Structure formats: C-alpha cells, structure tokens
Amino acid sequence: MSHDFDLFVIGAGSGGVRASRIAAGHGARVAVAEEYRVGGTCVIRGCVPKKLLVYGAHFAEDLDDARRFGWQIEGKRFDWATLRDNVAAEVDRLNGLYQNTLDNNRVTTLIGHARIVDPHTVEVAGTRYSAGTILIATGARPFQPDVPGAEHGITSNEVFHLPELPKRIVIAGAGYIATEFAGVFHELGSDVTIINRSDTILRGWEPALADRLLQISMAKGINFKLNCRLEQVEKLETGLKLHFADGKSIETDVLLWALGRVPNLEGLGLEDVGVALNDKGAIAVDASNRTNVPSIFAVGDVTDRVQLTPVAIREGHAFADSQFGGKPTQVDYRAIPSAVFSNPPLGSVGMTEAEARNAFGQVRVYTSDFRPMKNVLAGRNERALYKLIVDAATDRVVGAHMIGPDAPEILQAVAIAVKAGLTKAQFDDTMALHPTMSEELVLMR
Ligand code: NDP
C-alpha cells in the first residue's frame, strides 16, 4: 500500500531533524510536524541560548580579573536587553538554518500539533497523512510541581525572555539547569538563592566535585537553602513570597523551576494506538528505538534514556540508518561525556568512584587539587579539582571528572581516551603540555 510519506516524524528538535535528514538522504519521502519552532529545546530554549548567556555572564569575572593583569576598565555596565536580544537573534538564525536543512533535503515541514490516529496515520491541523513509519521525537518540558501558586514561577522556557534582569531570583532544584542559571544570574549581578529538597547539589555527579561547586558558589555569594520544602508561592504587589514547611519565607522577583524535565506526550494519541510507556512515564522502546507498535518508533528525551542532545541526535541517526539505509545501527550508551556549564563548570565521563567500586571492587583513585595559574595572578581563590578513577585489575581509566575553568572543553578530549579504554600507564606515558590545566591529567601519580 502506498502512503503519503515513508516516514512521518513528530517533533523537529535535535533527534527529529537528524532522523528526517538522514532518512531523506536514504531516499525516503519524509514529513516532520513541529508545533513550536524548528530546532527544538536545545537550539531554541536550551543548550545554545544558555551557553551564550554563560559566555555573556562570564565577562563580569573576566573584567574583574583583568585589573590584576594591568587593565583599567572604567564605567563597566551590563545591559540585559542587549544580551537577551542578541541571543534571541542568534537563535532565530539557527532556527533558519535548521529549516534550510529540512528544505534542502526535501523534507516536508508541517507546523501544528500532531496526533497519531492509527499505526500509519497522523493528523496535523485537521489534515490526515498516512506513513509507513512514524517517529515520535517530541522531547520533554520542564516539570512544574503541584504547589499552590506554582504558576507564578517561570521555567527555562521563559528565562531567556525576561523583560529585565531580576534583582532577586530563587531557583528551585539543584541539578544542571539550576546550577547553570545560578552562575549566570549571579555573575550578572542578581541576588541568587538555590532551594532544593535534599542536601545534595548535582545528584549523581562525583560528590567531591559537586561539593567543590557548592563551596565555590557559597564563597561567591550564592545562597543555598537545602533540605527544604516549598509549600506555597504567594504573589505580592512587587514580586513573590515563598513559604516553606519550616515556617520561614523568602521574597523574590523571579522564581525559576528547575526540577527536571518530563516527556512531551500530551495529545499525541498514544493511548488510542496503544503505545506503551515505561515505569518512568516515558515511551518504552527497544534497542532499535521501536515501540511496542511495530510501525511506531521514538528517540530522544521523550524516551527518557539519557536527556542529552548528542544522544538524541545519535538515536535519530541510528533509527534512520537502520530503517531506511539498510544499515542496522544501535547507539552505544557507554562513556557518554556530560558537562554542567556552572561557574566554574564541570565535566565528567564514565564511572564515579562509587560506581567503579561497585562494578570492580578494587579501584585506584587519582586526584589533582590545584589553583589554576590564571586564578593565582587574578587573586581568585578558586581551586580546580580533577579526579581519575582506574580499574585496579586492568589499569583502565574508567572515569574522569573535573571542575575548573574550561573543564567541558578539556573533558571532551579525555572522553576519547576513556571510551577507547586507555590505561593509566598510557595517560602517564603521554608528555605533558605545559603550561596548561589539562596537563594535570597526565601528571597524577
Ligand atoms: P536535574 O535532573 O538535573 O535536577 C533536578 C533537580 O530537581 C534536582 O536537584 C532534584 O533534587 C530536584 N527535584 C526533582 N524532582 C523534584 C520534585 N518533585 N520536587 C522537588 N525537587 C525535585 O534536572 P534539570 O531540570 O536541571 O535538567 C533536566 C535535564 O536536562 C538534565 O537531567 C539533563 O539531562 C538535561 N540538561 C543538560 C544540560 C547539559 O548537558 N549541560 C543542561 C541542562 C539540562 P535531588 O536530586 O536533590 O533529589
């Protein structure tokens, strides 16, 4: 039976666009439906604009540090609207490039909410399209808690469009988004408070690094209220009042929810076609990204495997190669590098010390705790911390974790070595590149 399209993709984010482009390159007739903007979370309201804000904010400390390097900078002043609007313009440019990619690959773009009607039919804006295969790549959205007044808070969707820089901001959560925006707003001059339900920041990260970020953030002047339960958000004439279970309260101009992200499943018609969810409430897929309905697949955050853009892209690519390119491909989830663009940033690949001890029993741990030379001259009392985890039996480096300037840039290169299964002896055999921070990686004895 001939369908309108060979592949119908729902969601034009990182995973959906890659799958569309590659499938079209393999000769498939492809349509992609998008209800907001082509590019998805990463490009439109995630990684990309966030990283640009991180760059923008960091000039604050660089300009301070510059004095110790002989620069006299008079009358520095920050204008939020300039940064916000320039970032928005860059997002518009990238949005256009993503659309061009789809157009150049002859992928039909349909703007509107898509609903799956049956295993081979999707409806967008009242029109039904048939397809041999359907790919769900709708991503995730910020979780909003069930607290009275929660609607007065904003999420990472809105934070890029604030009319003005808040004097005070409270960020709920202590994961990736919370720590990244805490760094940004603190450097831009806002009074920042992180509130979290546990006494941990960056749960799941190597604890020594998370602790280092906590110590440095507190020394910089970021406030933390940990082990707390927010009970109510009250709207005041000027700002918000947050009421906690311990009877205390905080007033703020902006409350930012950063409590994790939940799969976008609403209105997709999944119940009608019987697509099964997993115990996390995400779409359940096998190693080939196939759901329990044979013609329907899913990739990216909507499957809640690893919520990272490069993972969604790999999944989309593997799906397209497997289903339309005659090249069955599965994503390798081992040793996925990850970074937090906090101030200072963290980078990590492979196992934490605790994970490695559970897996191997005997491990060797190497740490380097040092003050980067730029910080020394700048009079900035912030130490970097690098940690290598080695399987004692094989001498393989099974984990690398670092916090300090440029940690994510350095970590990407280390990730190649860890993924390749290189040994500590091979790290040590590598000549140091002096003077750098990354030379610590080959000097840990
Ligand atoms: P995270 O999962 O990183 O952190 C969630 C935070 O919210 C934790 O501190 C957690 O507390 C707390 N929390 C979770 N659920 C609740 C709840 N029901 N009530 C109160 N507190 C809660 O989520 P983010 O929103 O920061 O980011 C979402 C995902 O997006 C990340 O996991 C990551 O995969 C991705 N991302 C990646 C980035 C990058 O690569 N640099 C940047 C931004 C996002 P606790 O852990 O203490 O229990």
Report the share of the chain in percent with pLDDT over 70: 100
Q: How far is the CA of 403 from the centre of ligand 1 (A)?
A: 19
Which atom of ligand 1 lies nearest, measured to the CA of 306? 34
Q: How far is the CA of 225 from the centre of ligand 1 (A)?
A: 16
Which atom of ligand 1 lies nearest, measured to the CA of 198? 47
Residue 290 binned pLDDT confidence (cut-offs 50, 70, 90): very high
Report the share of the chain in percent with pLDDT over 90: 99
What's the token pair of residue 252?
Answer: 């703020």
Strand 114-118 to strand 5-10: parallel, antiparallel, or no bridges (unpaired)? unpaired
Fold assignment, 150-259? FAD/NAD(P)-binding domain (3.50.50)
Whether 42 lines ligand 1, by a CB cut-off of 6 Å, is no
Measured from the Cβ of residue 370, the count of other Cβ atoms closer than 10 Å reads 16
Q: 3-state DSSP call for residue 216?
A: helix
Is the pLDDT assigned to residue 1 strictly greater than 90?
Answer: no
pTM above 0.85, yes or no: yes
CATH number of the 5-142+262-324 domain: 3.50.50.60
Whether 200 lines ligand 1, by a CB cut-off of 6 Å, is yes
Residue 248 binned pLDDT confidence (cut-offs 50, 70, 90): very high
Q: Is 320 exposed, middle or buried (0-12, 13-18, 19+ CB in 10 A)?
A: buried
Whether 41 lines ligand 1, by a CB cut-off of 6 Å, is no
Which atom of ligand 1 lies nearest, measured to the CA of 156? 25
Mutate to test the pocket of ligand 1, among 176, 205, 233, 343 (most ligand atoms within 8 A of CB): 176
Mean pLDDT of 391-398: 98
Residue 4 binned pLDDT confidence (cut-offs 50, 70, 90): very high
Residue with the nearest Cα to atom 16 of ligand 1? 259
**Rounded CA gap, 178 and 201, in Å?**
9
Same fold? 5-142+262-324, 150-259: yes
pLDDT at 376: 98
Whether 338 lines ligand 1, by a CB cut-off of 6 Å, is yes
Whether 249 lines ligand 1, by a CB cut-off of 6 Å, is no
Whether 404 lines ligand 1, by a CB cut-off of 6 Å, is no
Q: How far is the CA of 257 from the centre of ligand 1 (A)?
A: 10
| Residue of 390, 399, 400 whose CA lies nearest to 425 | 390
8 Å CB contact between 58 and 188: no
How many Cα atoms occupy the beta-carbon half-sphere of 231 within 13 Å? 7
Measured in whole angstroms, the distance separating CA 175 from the mean position of its chain's CA atoms is 10
pLDDT digit string, tens, across residues 129-188: 999 999 999 999 999 999 999 999 999 999 999 999 999 999 999 999 999 999 999 999
- Sign, CA torsion 294/295/300/304: negative
Beta-carbon contacts of residue 254 (< 8 Å; ≥ 6 apart):
154, 162, 166, 168, 169, 170, 240
Whether 348 lines ligand 1, by a CB cut-off of 6 Å, is no
Fold assignment, 338-442? Enolase-like; domain 1 (3.30.390)
Residue with the nearest Cα to atom 28 of ligand 1? 260
Which atom of ligand 1 lies nearest, measured to the CA of 200? 47
Q: 3-state DSSP call for residue 276?
A: coil
Distances, alpha carbon 63 to alpha carbons 44, 73, 78, 189, 381, in Å: 29, 7, 12, 14, 16
Q: How far is the CA of 53 from the centre of ligand 1 (A)?
A: 19
pLDDT digit string, tens, across residues 331-365: 999 999 999 999 999 999 999 999 999 999 999 99
pLDDT digit string, tens, across residues 187-240: 999 999 999 999 999 999 999 999 999 999 999 999 999 999 999 999 999 999
Q: Which residues are known to be catalytic?
A: 434
Strand 261-263 to strand 140-142: parallel, antiparallel, or no bridges (unpaired)? antiparallel
Mean pLDDT of 85-102: 98
8 Å CB contact between 287 and 280: no
Domain ranges of the chain: 5-142+262-324, 150-259, 338-442
